[in-house]
């Protein structure tokens, strides 16, 4: 079973519908027991970093998320769900993240002609190409909506980059841990392929 972590931050139903469209049932839940029994875990997210961390703590989900990653089961972070995996964010102050990956979350510091948030379709160049991108061409387009991006300390976890206008981390991959800054559930056929590939990981 695929479990989508419910912490009241984001488009949970859209992610669930994305999995359903590729033939895989997914449950929206904040129950640690259900999360422990799930075969695949998804941490989605839209909104402010500080609010998200506070809500994860309030629901006692920080431990279960760490347990899920360390268990070896496939884990997918989406957008804010990617950023939360890192040590800290500088969104509206400085806030501690989950600390599963080393690094930080920074705001775009770019020329005025580029609007923030970065919103719309952008190409992703794959450095390593994680298994969730099987069958997807390099430089494929995905849909982004974000004002902040992650800067990993370990360059080895950086799986794919996009540019706005400078290169930034668009996807990460470390063993069973995958995450995307873009929204696969909003990225049409290529995004649905990502969800299918993730759901079919052993």
Q: Rounded to 5 degrees, what angle do the CA atoms 110, 116, 121 make?
A: 100
Long-range contacts of 189-192 (CB under 8 A, 24+ apart): 190/136, 190/140, 190/141, 190/142, 191/18, 191/142, 191/143, 192/18, 192/21, 192/22
* Residue 14: CB atoms within 10 Å: 14
Residue of 91, 95, 118, 185 marked active site: 185
Query: Whats the size of the chain, residue-wise?
Result: 202
Model confidence at 71: pLDDT above 90: yes
Report residue 147 as tokens: 């004002």
Active site residue 55: no
Mean pLDDT of 106-131: 95
Q: Residue 64 pLDDT more than 90?
A: yes
Catalytic residue among 79, 91, 118, 169: 79
* pLDDT range class, residue 11, cuts 50, 70, 90: confident
169 is catalytic: no
pLDDT average, residue stretch 172-200: 98
| Nearest C-alpha neighbor of 118 from the set 184, 179, 163 | 163
Residue 23 has pLDDT above 90, yes or no: yes
**What's the rounded mean pLDDT across residues 134-155?**
97
- Residue 118 among the catalytic residues: no
* pLDDT above 90 (res 136): yes
Question: Catalytic pick from 146, 169, 183, 190?
Answer: 183
Q: The dihedral of CA 8, 77, 124, 20: what is its sign?
A: negative
Which domains are delineated in the chain? 2-199 (3.40.50.880)
Whole-model pTM: value is 0.96
- For residue 8, what pLDDT is reported? 87
- Encoded tokens for 113: 């002609």
């Amino acid at each position: 079973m695929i479990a989508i972590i419910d912490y009241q931050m984001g488009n949970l139903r859209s992610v669930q519908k994305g999995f359903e469209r590729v033939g895989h049932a997914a449950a929206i839940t904040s129950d640690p027991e259900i999360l422990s029994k799930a075969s695949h875990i998804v941490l989605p997210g839209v909104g402010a970093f500080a609010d998200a961390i506070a809500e994860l703590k309030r629901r006692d989900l920080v431990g279960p998320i760490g347990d899920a990653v360390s268990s070896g089961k496939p884990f997918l972070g989406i957008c804010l769900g990617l950023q939360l995996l890192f040590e800290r964010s500088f969104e509206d102050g400085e806030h501690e993240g989950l600390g599963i990956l080393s690094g930080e979350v920074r705001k775009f510091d770019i020329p005025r002609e580029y609007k923030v948030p970065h919103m719309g379709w952008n190409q992703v160049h794959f450095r390593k190409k994680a298994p969730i991108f099987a069958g997807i061409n390099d430089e494929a387009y995905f849909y982004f909506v974000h004002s902040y991006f992650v800067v990993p300390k370990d360059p080895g976890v950086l799986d794919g980059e996009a540019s706005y206008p400078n290169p930034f981390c668009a996807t990460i991959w470390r063993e069973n841990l995958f995450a995307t800054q873009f929204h696969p559930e909003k990225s049409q056929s290529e995004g649905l392929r990502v969800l299918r590939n993730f759901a079919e990981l052993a």
